[in-house]
Amino acid sequence: MNEVGMAIRELHRSENAIAVELLRIADRHKTDHEVFHVARDIARWSQRHVRELARVGRDYGVDLDDEPKEPHELPAALRRRASELLGRRHAPSLLLLRDLRTAHRMAAGVSLDWEVLAQTAQALGDRELLAASQRCHPQTLRQLRWANAKLKEIAAQAVVTA
Amino acid sequence: MGIVDRIAEPWGTRTPYGPGQRWPTRVDRHLEPGLTEADIDRWVQSASVLHSNGDGLDIAVRDGRIVGVRGRAVDRVNHGRLDPKDLFGWQANGSSDRLTTPLIRRDGELVETDWDTAMNAVAGRTKELLEERGPSAIGFYTTGQLFLEEYYTLALIGHGGIGTNHMDGNTRLCTATAAAALKQSFGCDGQPGSYTDIDHADVIALYGHNMAETQTVLWSRILDRLAGPNPPAVICVDPRRTPVARAATVHLAPRPGTNLMLVNGLLHEILRQGRVDERYIEENTVGFDDLRQHLEEYPLERAAEVCDVPLADLREAARLIGTAQRLMSTVLQGFYQSHQATAAAVQVNNIHLVRGMLGRPGCGVLQMNGQPTAQNTRECGADGDLPGFRNWANDAHVEDLARVWNIDPMRIPHYSAPTHLMQMMRYVEDGSIRFLYVNGTNPAVSLPELHRIREILSQDRLFLVVQDIFPTETTRLADVVLPAATWGEKTGTFTNADRTVHLSEKAVEPPGRARPDLDIFVDYAHRLGLRDKDGDPLVKWSTPEEAFEAWKKCTAGRPCDYTGITYDRLRGGSGIQWPCNADAPGGTERLYTDGRFWAAPDRCEAYGRDMVTGAPVEPTEYRARNPHGKAMLEPGEYLPPHETVSDEYPYLLSTGRTLYHFHTRTKTGRAPQLQSAAPEVWVEMSGADADRHGWSEGDLLRITTPRGSVTARLRISAIRSGVVFLPFHYGYWDTPAGHEPALEGRAANELTFTDWDPASKQPLFKSGVARLERVEAEDGTPSAAPTTTASEPVGVTVPATRGGPDAEATETPDEGELR
Same domain, B118 and B86: no
The pTM for the full model equals 0.97
- Taking the C-alpha atoms of residue B41 and residue B62, their distance in angstroms, rounded to an integer, is 5
Beta bridge partners of B649: none
**Domain closes at, from B577, B593, B618:** B577
Residue B685's closest CA among B25, B241, B124, B151?
Answer: B241
Asked, for residue B504, whether it belongs to a domain, the answer is yes
Q: Quick check: is B208 in a domain?
A: yes
Closest-CA distance, A120 to chain B, in angstroms, reads 25
The SS3 of residue B237 is strand
pLDDT at B217 over 60: yes
User: Is A146 within 8 Å of B755 when comparing Cβ atoms?
Assistant: no
B416 contact residues in A (CB cutoff 8 A): 152-153, 156
Task: Tell me: pLDDT of B815 over 80.
Answer: no
> Would you say residue B818 has pLDDT above 50?
no
The stretch B769-788 carries a mean pLDDT of: 96
Q: Mean pLDDT across the stretch B422-438? A: 96
Judge whether B566 lies within some domain.
yes
How deeply is A109 buried, as exposed, middle or buried, from its count of CB atoms within 10 A (0-12, 13-18, 19+)? middle
Identity of the residue in B426, B610, B642 whose CB atom sits nearest the CB atom of A32: B426
- CATH number, domain of B394, equals 3.40.50.740
- Domains contained in chain B, number: 4
Please name the residues between 90 and 149 in chain A that touch chain B, using a CB distance below 8 Å. Answer: 90, 92-93, 142-143, 145-146, 148-149
Confidence of residue A76 (pLDDT cuts 50, 70, 90): confident
If you average pLDDT over residues B381-402, what whole number do you get?
A: 95
Is A92 close to B756, i.e. CB distance below 8 A? no
Q: Are residues B324 and B384 in the same domain?
A: no
pLDDT digits (tens, 9 = 90+) for A107-145: 999 999 999 999 999 999 999 999 999 999 999 999 999
Three-state secondary structure of B109-175: EEEECCHHHHHHHHHHHHHHHHHHHCHHHEEEEECCCCCHHHHHHHHHHHHHHHCCCCEEEHHHHCC
**One domain for residues B763 and B731:** yes
Reported as a pLDDT band with limits 50, 70 and 90, residue A161 is confident
Query: Are B671 and B744 found together in one domain?
Result: yes
Q: Is A42 on the interface with B (CB under 8 A)?
A: yes
- A157 and B642: CB-CB below 8 Å? no
The burial of B804, by beta-carbon neighbours within 10 Å (0-12 exposed, 13-18 middle, 19 or more buried), is given as exposed
- State yes or no: pLDDT of B816 exceeds 60: no
Among the three residues B94, B112, B129, which one is the final residue of a domain in this structure? B94
The residue among A124, B30, A96 whose CA lies nearest residue A132 is A124
Asked if A81 is an interface residue toward chain B (Cβ–Cβ < 8 A), one would say no
Helices (H), B165-255: 176-186, 211-214, 216-227, 243-247
Span A93-98, average pLDDT? 92
| Residue B138 touches chain A, beta carbons under 8 Å | no
User: What is the chain B residue with the closest CA to A42?
Assistant: B613
CA atoms of B579 and B499, how far apart (whole Å): 8
Three-state DSSP at B233 gives strand
Give residue-wise pLDDT tens across range A4-44.
899 999 999 999 999 999 999 999 999 999 999 999 999 99
How many angstroms separate the Cα of B470 from the Cα of each of B79, B251, B344, B670, B733? 32, 40, 37, 10, 10
Do residues B413 and B558 share a domain? yes
Q: Do A37 and B415 touch (CB under 8 A)?
A: no
Interhelix angle B421-429/B450-457, nearest 10 degrees: 60
Q: Using a CB-CB distance cutoff of 8 angstroms, which residues of chain A are in contact with residue B165?
A: 156
Burial (Cβ within 10 Å: 0-12, 13-18, ≥19) of residue B546: middle
B460 chain-A contacts, CB cut-off 8 A: none
Task: Give the rounded distance of the alpha carbon of B658 from its chain centre.
Answer: 14
pLDDT the model gives residue A1: 54
Question: How far is residue A75's CA from residue B465's CA, in Å, rounded to a whole number?
Answer: 41
B573 assigned to some structural domain = yes
Contact across the interface for B430 and A146, Cβ inside 8 Å: no
Question: Where residue B268 sits, what CATH number does that domain have?
Answer: 3.40.228.10
Interface contact A42-B431, CB threshold 8 A: no
Percent of chain B with pLDDT strictly greater than 70 = 99
B437: left (phi over 0), alpha (psi -120 to 50) or beta: beta
B425 and B546 fall within a common domain: yes
Asked if residue B817 has pLDDT above 80, the reply is: no
**Cβ B687 vs Cβ B617: under 8 Å:** no
In DSSP notation, B292-334 reads HHHHTT--HHHHHHHHT--HHHHHHHHHHHHH-SSEEEEE-HH
Question: Are B528 and B430 part of one and the same domain?
Answer: yes
Around Cβ B567, how many Cβ atoms within 10 Å? 15
pLDDT at B438: 98
Please tell me whether residues B334 and B382 are part of one structural domain.
no
CB of B779 less than 8 A from some CB of A: no
- Flag whether B405 is in a domain: yes
Residue numbers of the domain that contains B260: 193-363
Q: What burial letters (b/e) apply to A88-97, b meaning 16+ CB within 10 Å?
A: eebebbebbb
Q: Could you tell me the domains of chain A?
A: 3-160 (1.20.1260.10)
pLDDT at B291 (0 to 100): 98
Q: How far is CA B200 from the centre of its chain?
A: 25
pLDDT above 60 (res B329): yes
Contact B415 A38 (CB under 8 A): no
Domain identity same for B292 and B205:
yes
**CATH number, position B727:** 2.40.40.20
Query: Distance of CA B154 to CAs B149, B185, B524, Å?
Result: 9, 29, 10
CA atoms within 13 A on the CB side of B37: 7
The minimal CB distance from A37 to the residues B136, B429, B642 is found for B642
Query: How far apart are alpha carbons B55 and B75 in whole angstroms?
Result: 8
Which residues 161-220 of B are in CB contact (within 8 Å) with A?
165
Burial of B625 (0-12, 13-18, 19+ CB in 10 A): middle
Note whether B485 and B354 are same-domain residues.
no
Contact B612 A31 (CB under 8 A): no
Residue among A94, A157, A159 with most chain B CBs within 10 A, to mutate: A157
> Does pLDDT of B683 surpass 90?
yes
pLDDT tens per residue, range B10-21: 999 999 999 999
**Residues in chain A within 8 Å Cβ distance of B761:** 34
Question: Do B429 and A88 make contact, defined as CB atoms within 8 angstroms?
Answer: yes
pLDDT tens, residue by residue, B438-469: 999 999 999 999 999 999 999 999 999 999 99
- B766 contacts: CB under 8 Å, gap ≥ 6: B256, B333, B334, B337, B338, B654, B655, B656
ipTM for the predicted complex comes to 0.95
Q: For A34, which of B432, B618, B756 is closest by C-beta distance?
A: B756
| CB–CB contact A149 B615 (8 Å) | yes
Domain assignment of residue B806, yes or no: no
Kindly state whether B416 is in contact with chain A, defined as any CB-CB distance less than 8 angstroms.
yes
CA pair distance B732, B454, nearest whole angstrom: 13
Q: What is the mean pLDDT of chain B?
A: 97
Flag if B432 and A89 touch (Cβ within 8 Å).
no
B34-48 average pLDDT score = 97
The phi, psi pair for B289, rounded to 5°, reads -65, -40
- Of B789, B800, B715, which is closest to residue B214 (Cα–Cα)? B789
What are the DSSP calls for B627-641, one per residue? TT--EE---------
- Candidates A146, A157, A158; nearest CB to B613: A146
Contacts of B403 (CB under 8 A, 6+ apart): none
Does residue B201 share a domain with residue B81? no
Specify the length of chain A in residues.
162
Task: Indicate yes or no: CB of A142 within 8 angstroms of CB of B615.
Answer: yes
Indicate yes or no: CB of A93 within 8 angstroms of CB of B429.
no
Indicate yes or no: CB of B613 within 8 angstroms of CB of A152: no
Structural domain includes residue B50: yes
Using a CB–CB cutoff of 8 Å, tell me whether B74 touches chain A.
no
The string over B47-56, giving b where at least 16 C-beta atoms fall within 10 Å of a residue's C-beta and e elsewhere, is bbbbbbbbbb
Domain membership flag for residue B794? no
Contact A152 B416 (CB under 8 A): yes
Which residue does chain B place closest to A157, by CA atoms? B136
**For chain B, how many residues are written?**
819
CB pairs under 8 A between A and B: 84
Once rounded to an integer, what is the mean pLDDT over residues B48-64? 97
Model confidence at B73, pLDDT cuts 50, 70, 90, reads very high
CB B660 within 8 A of CB B87: no
Cβ of B427 under 8 Å from any chain A Cβ?
Answer: yes
Same domain, B69 and B88: yes
